[in-house]
Amino acid sequence: MYDGLKGFRDFYPGEQSARREVTDAIEGAASRHGFREIATPALERTEMYVDKSGEEIVEELYAFDDKGGRGVSMTPELTPTVARMVVAKGQELSKPIKWMSTRPFWRYEQVQQGRFREFYQTNIDVFGSSAPEADAEVLAVAADALTDLGLTGDDFEFRVSHRDILGGLVRSLAADPDAVDTAAAIRAVDKRAKVDDAEYVGLLSDAGLARDTARDFDDLISDVETVADLDAVAEAGDESVEAAVENLRNVLAAADDFGAGEFCEVSLTTARGLDYYTGVVFECFDSTGEVSRSVFGGGRYDDLIESFGGQPTPAVGVAPGHATLKLLCQRAGVWPDEELSTDYYVLSVGDTRSEAAALASDLRALGDDVVVEQDISGRSFGAQLGYADSINAETVVVVGERDLENGEYTVKDMESGDETTVPVEEFPPEDGLPTYEDYV
């Protein structure tokens, strides 16, 4: 007997049917907005990740040399791969490019609740538009996906921030702007809720802010709770801060028009950890706080395509992670039932296999989603009925020798156990999915 690997999961049909429903909801929302599915490799050259994130990234990669001596890694995220794909096709692709895909990624890290070594995400990205409507569309798709799952504005919120407000403000406040490590300051803000106050101020200080100034900076960003509060921030910063505030306002106004405004809050203490983000960034949180971590996040990464050797191409995206989303859905009571569903079990008794199989085939033809099972184990009446129950069959159609002599099937409702006979020529009808109720 073999074990699976730690941090890797087997999904059996019950759980998988719930996961499929959630994936379909997310992909459906993106698809209705015109995001097109792509498919991408599981392996890339390790150097692509090292160039982008530094040698230390290798520590958390499934990295190895292939049989041809190439340094390769199992993809830890999608963004570098899609950046490579955008660069490869360059001008051939009409803009904006709107792509989505769902697949696993891999990171060698500590396994904990909602975090695995193999984890699934749906990536949703726009390339080629710097307009606030692009950011808003990404927020709208995320909001549509969550509301399609049954979540409401009482369940989740998008905390929206802007990296250039944070970076510009740090440089505006610093005694020596040239000595500021903007990226380090933003990483400090990202860690704000995860470390204690002294460590946080220390991180800001390491990034080039005097301790008093760090305190002022934190007061400024943490005081912002509404769009109106952004005035004070714009006044305290330089022109870059003013422009970023204007951009954030425009994104939020577009999000209002696109139907996502009600889920958005301004939150400058939100920063996102990854260095490649450039403009608006956001994170989705459980409004009740019961799921304490960010459920997922997204934002702008306008410089990445150029750094990959492509034409300057603005970009914005979001990547719902399925494991944390499951925690939110479970907390809100909207995680789908983890069970099988079956429309019909066609039960053959006696020498009726041919007739039963033909009926099963006719029932399957009633719809793309209809599920019809029949005996493939040579079982007795009772054993077949037990199996039909185990797969939650809604209706059992008994095809017995005597029934057939009378030109009838027996249609049985598995919830109540009630049954009736139906003339063979009336079953199934030309359209609709017939149940016991239709014949009494």
**CA–CA gap between residue 83 and residue 107 (Å, rounded):** 20
Residues 164-183 that bind its own copies (CB under 8 A): none
Whether residue 276 contacts residue 52, with contact meaning beta carbons closer than 8 Å, is answered with yes
Q: How many CB atoms lie within 10 A of CB 219?
A: 9
Write out the binding residues for its own copies, residues 189-248 only, by CB under 8 A: none
Q: Is 277 annotated as a binding residue?
A: yes
**Closest-CA residue to 139 (of 126, 152, 151, 127):** 126
Residues 134, 96 contacting (CB under 8 angstroms): yes
Is residue 85 within a helix (H) or strand (E), and if so which, with residue range?
A: helix 79-89
3-class SS letters over 353-370: HHHHHHHHHHHHCCCCCC
For its own copies, which residue of 5, 56, 333, 431 counts as binding (CB under 8 A)? 5
Q: Which of residues 56-85 bind its own copies (CB under 8 A)?
A: 59, 62, 64-68, 70, 72, 74, 80-81, 84-85
Segment interacting with its own copies (CB under 8 A) among 95-103, 183-191, 216-224, 424-432? 95-103
Three-class SS of residue 417? coil
Least gap, CB of 438 to its own copies (angstroms): 21
Tokens of 281: 């960034």
Nearer to its own copies, 144 or 265 (CB): 144
Q: Which stretch binds its own copies (CB under 8 A): 34-42, 196-204, 213-221, 222-230?
A: 34-42
Asked if 254 and 135 count as a contact pair (C-beta separation under 8 A), the reply is yes
Residue from 78, 126, 268, 319 in contact with its own copies (CB under 8 A):
126
Measured CA to CA, the distance from residue 153 to residue 96 in angstroms comes to 29
Neighbours of 154 (CB within 10 A): 9
* Alpha-carbon dihedral sign for residues 145, 112, 301, 100: negative
Maximum pairwise Cα distance, the chain:
96
Nearer to its own copies, 387 or 439 (CB): 387
**Considering the rule CB under 8 A, would residue 106 count as an interface residue with its own copies?**
yes
Contacting its own copies within 12-31 (CB under 8 A): 12-13, 16-17, 19-20, 28, 31
Tell whether residue 272 is among the known ligand binding residues: yes
Binding mask 244-273 for its own copies (x = CB under 8 A): ----------x-xxxx--------------
Based on CB atoms, which residue is closest to its own copies, 19 or 191? 19
Does the annotation flag 121 for ligand binding? yes
User: Quick check: 126 and 96 in contact, CB under 8 A?
Assistant: yes
Q: What is the smallest separation between the CB atom of 68 and its own copies, expressed in angstroms?
A: 8
Nearer to its own copies, 161 or 374 (CB): 374
- For residue 79, give the nearest of 302, 282, 235 by alpha carbon: 302
**Site membership for its own copies, residue 41 (CB under 8 A):** yes
Distance, in Å, from the CA atom of 317 to the CA atom of 141, rounded to the nearest integer, reads 10
Q: Which two tokens stand for residue 2?
A: 């073999």
Q: Edge-to-edge strand order for the sheet containing 419-423?
A: 372-374, 342-349, 393-400, 408-413, 419-423
Which of 361, 402, 407, 426 binds its own copies (CB under 8 A)? It is 361
> Whole-angstrom distance between the N-terminal and C-terminal Cα of the chain?
52
> Contact region for its own copies (CB under 8 A) — 11-19, 231-239, 268-276, 330-338?
11-19
Report whether 49 belongs to an annotated binding site: no
Q: Which stretch binds its own copies (CB under 8 A): 32-40, 239-247, 265-273, 411-419?
A: 32-40
Residues 302-321 touching its own copies, rule: CB under 8 A, are: 308-310
DSSP string of 172-185, one letter each residue: HHSSSGGG--HHHH
- Which two three-digit tokens encode residue 175? 């005694």
- State the minimum distance, in angstroms, from the CB of residue 334 to its own copies: 18
Span 367-396, contacts to its own copies by CB under 8 A:
368-378, 387, 390-391
Question: CB of 310 within 8 A of CB of 355?
Answer: no
Q: Please pick, from the candidates 53, 76, 78, 99, the single residue that binds its own copies as defined by CB under 8 A.
A: 99
Both tokens of 85, joined, read 């794909």
Q: Choose the stretch contacting its own copies; rule: CB under 8 A; options: 7-15, 161-169, 282-290, 329-337.
A: 7-15
Number of residues that bind its own copies (CB under 8 A): 99
Comparison of 202 and 336: residue with beta carbon closer to its own copies:
336
CB of 373 to its own copies, least distance (A): 4
**Which residues make up each annotated binding site?**
77-79, 107, 121, 125, 272, 276-277
**Which residues make up each annotated binding site for L-histidine?**
77-79, 107, 121, 125, 272, 276-277
